[in-house]
Amino acid sequence: MIIVTGGAGFIGSNLVRALNRAGHSDILVVDDLRDAHKVLNLSDCRIDEYVDMHEFLARITAGQSLAPKVEAIYHQGACTDTTEWNGLLMMRQNHEYSKQVFAYATERGIPLVYASSASVYGAGREFRVSEDCERPINVYAFSKLMFDRFVRRSMSGVRSPVVGLRYFNVYGPGEVHKGRMASVIHHFNEQLKAGDAIALFAGSDGYADGEQRRDFIHVDDVVAVNLWAATAKSGIYNLGTGRARSFNDVARAVLAFHGRGRIRYVPFPDHLRGSYQSFTEADLTGLRAAGYGADFLDIEAGVQRYLAAINPPAAG
């Protein structure tokens, strides 16, 4: 059996689908379905069982066997709202919960691949996997960093792979339920469906209008690295394309897909000042040194693939 926590979510459901394509259907999905819209992400997937996240936590903390043999745990479940400031919630879901998953996996020699986040780098300009570069600017990032540090402290004597992947800006099919936390590509697409303009932030942090830059990575590439990581050398690795692109570039790619529209600029929100990453770019040195050699989709190809998958073809 393979366990995917957060398996009804964005990255988790895409991972389940990829496991199905690889011939696996003995999959246990763990999630929180208070927002039942996420079920739609699994409508075309084959899984063996579903367990609520709270029941799963109770079972693993009690040391219960989940299956005769667990081949791997992909821990994607988390509270991912970077604007959430309930620190108690964040630390329980993203730190304490993850520590229990870690204990369960390592005590049984089960490979563990877990989702970390590039948010741990905060507003810094260097994105190396190094404590020198880790400066969280919100509680979500802090919760992710605390678990990364726990893993670093706890690896002595661990015999099975434990791989943390610091996701940069992931986009792709299956993210609609994330609402305002969905990727900008999703929101740009929705804006063009409703009108003729894509709204970008005006300049901030020394960047011109729409020139804030992020490392955007398609979910297919994220899934491919997750599958590779289950047999990789233990470590924490960045997972982006290694190339920052401007929001103007992303908007132009969406406009090109639709063949119409324009860009307009809106004032930068006051509530985001001081807690917004205006630049991110993954340093892939560690990932490449660990043996992952595949190329990543650039923003033009990735946006085309994503929007072709979610926009029905025009009639006639």
pLDDT in tens, the chain (316 residues): 999 999 999 999 999 999 999 999 999 999 999 988 899 999 999 999 999 999 999 999 999 999 999 999 999 998 777 666 788 888 998 999 999 999 999 999 999 999 999 999 997 889 999 999 999 989 999 999 999 999 999 999 999 999 999 999 999 999 999 998 999 999 999 999 999 999 999 998 899 999 999 999 999 999 999 999 999 999 999 999 999 999 999 999 999 999 999 999 999 998 888 778 889 999 999 999 999 999 999 999 999 999 999 987 654 4
Q: Do 125 and 261 fall into the same domain?
A: no
Q: Do 197 and 276 fall into the same domain?
A: yes
pLDDT at 316: 44
Strands 197-201 and 213-214: unpaired
In a domain, 208, yes or no: yes
Q: Do 145 and 185 fall into the same domain?
A: no
Q: Do 117 and 221 fall into the same domain?
A: yes
- Boundaries of domain holding 115: 2-170+216-242+283-289
The model's pTM? 0.94
In a domain, 312, yes or no: no
Q: How many domains does the chain have?
A: 2
Q: Do 117 and 191 fall into the same domain?
A: no
Question: For the residues of the chain, what is the DSSP string, one character each?
Answer: -EEEETTTSHHHHHHHHHHHHTT---EEEEE-TTSGGGGGGGTT---SEEEEHHHHHHHHHTT--SSS---EEEE------TT---HHHHIIIIIIHHHHHHHHHHHTT--EEEEEEGGGGTT-S---SSGGG----SHHHHHHHHHHHHHHHH-TT--S-EEEEEE-EEE-TT-GGGGGGS-HHHHHHHHHHHSSEEEEE--BTTBPTT--EE-EEEHHHHHHHHHHHTTSPSEEEEES-S--EEHHHHHHHHHHHHT--EEEEEPPPGGGTTS--SB-----HHHHHTT-------HHHHHHHHHHHHSPPPP-
Q: Do 190 and 71 fall into the same domain?
A: no
Question: Domain holding 255: CATH number?
Answer: 3.90.25.10
In a domain, 129, yes or no: yes
In a domain, 43, yes or no: yes
In a domain, 86, yes or no: yes
Question: Domain holding 75: CATH number?
Answer: 3.40.50.720
Q: Do 163 and 63 fall into the same domain?
A: yes
pLDDT at 87: 84
Q: Which amino acid is at 40?
A: L
Q: Do 136 and 188 fall into the same domain?
A: no
In a domain, 314, yes or no: no
pLDDT at 196: 96
Q: Do 206 and 108 fall into the same domain?
A: no
pLDDT at 272: 83
Q: Do 188 and 92 fall into the same domain?
A: no
Which residues are designated catalytic? 140, 178
In a domain, 235, yes or no: yes
Q: Do 137 and 227 fall into the same domain?
A: yes
In a domain, 313, yes or no: no
Q: Do 118 and 186 fall into the same domain?
A: no
